[in-house]
Amino acid sequence: MCLEAIDPEYLNMIYDGPYRPMKLAVVVVGQEENMIDKENKDYFPEDLSSIIKDAKVRHILHSSLDNVMSNRIIGCKTAKEIWNTFEVKYLGTTAIKKNRRTILNQEYEHFGSKSNESLTEIYDRF
Protein backbone atom coordinates (compact mmCIF):
# COMPACT_ATOMS: atom_id res chain seq x y z
CA MET A 1 0.00 0.00 0.00
CA CYS A 2 1.30 3.45 -0.90
CA LEU A 3 1.08 5.70 2.15
CA GLU A 4 1.68 8.78 0.00
CA ALA A 5 -1.84 8.27 -1.38
CA ILE A 6 -3.34 8.84 2.07
CA ASP A 7 -3.99 12.41 3.18
CA PRO A 8 -1.31 13.45 5.74
CA GLU A 9 -4.07 14.45 8.11
CA TYR A 10 -5.23 10.83 8.16
CA LEU A 11 -1.72 9.45 8.62
CA ASN A 12 -1.74 10.83 12.15
CA MET A 13 -4.54 8.36 12.92
CA ILE A 14 -2.26 5.52 11.84
CA TYR A 15 0.86 6.62 13.67
CA ASP A 16 -0.57 8.35 16.74
CA GLY A 17 -3.53 6.10 17.32
CA PRO A 18 -7.21 6.84 17.59
CA TYR A 19 -8.61 10.02 18.98
CA ARG A 20 -10.59 9.44 22.15
CA PRO A 21 -12.64 12.42 23.32
CA MET A 22 -11.80 13.01 26.98
CA LYS A 23 -13.01 15.37 29.66
CA LEU A 24 -11.81 16.33 33.09
CA ALA A 25 -13.40 14.25 35.82
CA VAL A 26 -14.98 15.92 38.80
CA VAL A 27 -12.12 16.78 41.11
CA VAL A 28 -12.44 16.01 44.81
CA VAL A 29 -10.33 18.04 47.20
CA GLY A 30 -7.11 16.19 47.96
CA GLN A 31 -7.17 14.05 44.81
CA GLU A 32 -5.30 14.67 41.60
CA GLU A 33 -7.04 15.56 38.35
CA ASN A 34 -7.81 12.74 35.95
CA MET A 35 -9.40 12.47 32.54
CA ILE A 36 -12.32 10.23 31.60
CA ASP A 37 -13.97 9.39 28.26
CA LYS A 38 -16.68 11.78 27.12
CA GLU A 39 -20.19 10.54 26.60
CA ASN A 40 -21.62 10.81 23.09
CA LYS A 41 -23.86 13.70 24.05
CA ASP A 42 -20.82 15.73 25.19
CA TYR A 43 -18.93 15.51 21.87
CA PHE A 44 -17.89 18.71 20.13
CA PRO A 45 -17.80 18.95 16.32
CA GLU A 46 -13.99 18.54 16.45
CA ASP A 47 -14.42 15.29 18.39
CA LEU A 48 -16.83 13.93 15.82
CA SER A 49 -14.50 14.98 13.00
CA SER A 50 -11.59 13.07 14.54
CA ILE A 51 -13.71 9.97 15.10
CA ILE A 52 -14.86 10.10 11.47
CA LYS A 53 -11.23 10.40 10.30
CA ASP A 54 -10.32 7.21 12.17
CA ALA A 55 -13.27 5.43 10.56
CA LYS A 56 -12.16 6.62 7.10
CA VAL A 57 -8.60 5.40 7.67
CA ARG A 58 -9.91 2.01 8.85
CA HIS A 59 -12.02 1.84 5.69
CA ILE A 60 -9.02 2.68 3.48
CA LEU A 61 -6.91 -0.01 5.17
CA HIS A 62 -9.69 -2.61 4.98
CA SER A 63 -10.29 -1.83 1.30
CA SER A 64 -6.67 -2.50 0.40
CA LEU A 65 -6.59 -6.04 1.82
CA ASP A 66 -7.06 -9.51 0.45
CA ASN A 67 -9.30 -12.02 2.24
CA VAL A 68 -6.46 -13.69 4.17
CA MET A 69 -5.21 -10.46 5.71
CA SER A 70 -8.77 -9.25 6.31
CA ASN A 71 -9.28 -12.22 8.61
CA ARG A 72 -6.21 -11.22 10.63
CA ILE A 73 -7.42 -7.70 11.31
CA ILE A 74 -11.13 -8.36 11.69
CA GLY A 75 -10.90 -7.85 15.46
CA CYS A 76 -8.94 -4.58 15.29
CA LYS A 77 -11.00 -1.66 16.49
CA THR A 78 -8.79 1.25 15.37
CA ALA A 79 -6.60 2.21 12.44
CA LYS A 80 -3.58 2.13 14.76
CA GLU A 81 -4.25 -1.52 15.71
CA ILE A 82 -4.64 -2.45 12.03
CA TRP A 83 -1.37 -0.72 11.17
CA ASN A 84 0.50 -2.46 14.01
CA THR A 85 -0.84 -5.81 12.77
CA PHE A 86 0.46 -4.97 9.26
CA GLU A 87 3.88 -4.10 10.62
CA VAL A 88 4.24 -7.33 12.58
CA LYS A 89 2.97 -9.43 9.67
CA TYR A 90 5.12 -7.91 6.93
CA LEU A 91 8.11 -6.47 8.76
CA GLY A 92 8.24 -8.70 11.82
CA THR A 93 9.19 -7.89 15.36
CA THR A 94 12.59 -6.45 16.30
CA ALA A 95 13.93 -9.92 17.11
CA ILE A 96 12.79 -11.28 13.73
CA LYS A 97 14.46 -8.38 11.89
CA LYS A 98 17.70 -9.01 13.77
CA ASN A 99 17.58 -12.73 12.90
CA ARG A 100 16.95 -11.93 9.22
CA ARG A 101 20.03 -9.67 9.14
CA THR A 102 22.15 -12.36 10.77
CA ILE A 103 21.00 -15.01 8.29
CA LEU A 104 21.62 -12.72 5.32
CA ASN A 105 25.11 -11.87 6.59
CA GLN A 106 25.92 -15.56 6.97
CA GLU A 107 24.65 -16.34 3.47
CA TYR A 108 26.78 -13.51 2.09
CA GLU A 109 29.90 -14.62 3.95
CA HIS A 110 29.52 -18.24 2.79
CA PHE A 111 28.58 -17.42 -0.79
CA GLY A 112 30.11 -19.79 -3.30
CA SER A 113 29.54 -21.28 -6.69
CA LYS A 114 27.70 -24.52 -7.28
CA SER A 115 29.34 -27.25 -9.32
CA ASN A 116 27.48 -26.78 -12.60
CA GLU A 117 26.94 -22.98 -12.62
CA SER A 118 28.31 -20.60 -15.22
CA LEU A 119 29.82 -17.25 -14.24
CA THR A 120 26.66 -15.47 -15.41
CA GLU A 121 24.47 -17.66 -13.21
CA ILE A 122 26.75 -17.11 -10.23
CA TYR A 123 26.68 -13.37 -10.79
CA ASP A 124 22.88 -13.35 -11.15
CA ARG A 125 22.46 -15.32 -7.95
CA PHE A 126 24.88 -13.04 -6.12
Q: Are 21 and 43 in contact (CB under 8 A)?
A: yes
Full domain range(s) for residue 109: 93-126
Q: Are 37 and 18 in contact (CB under 8 A)?
A: no
Same domain assignment for residues 57 and 78: yes
Same domain assignment for residues 67 and 43: yes
Provide the residue-wise pLDDT of the chain in tens; the chain has 126 residues.
444 455 666 555 555 556 667 676 776 666 677 777 777 777 778 877 777 787 888 888 878 788 877 788 888 877 888 888 888 877 777 888 888 889 989 988 888 888 888 889 888 887
Same domain assignment for residues 45 and 7: yes
C-alpha 41, offset from chain centre: 31
The answer to whether the predicted template modeling score (pTM) of the entire model surpasses 0.75 is no
> Helix, strand or coil for residue 18?
coil
Closest CA to 35 of 44, 47, 22, 26: 22
Total domain count for the chain?
2
Kindly list the distances between the CA atom of residue 66 and the CA atoms of 5, 40, 56, 73, 84, in Å, as whole numbers in the listed order: 19, 34, 18, 11, 17
Farthest-apart Cα atoms in the chain, separation: 84
Measured distance CA(58)–CA(53) in Å, rounded = 9
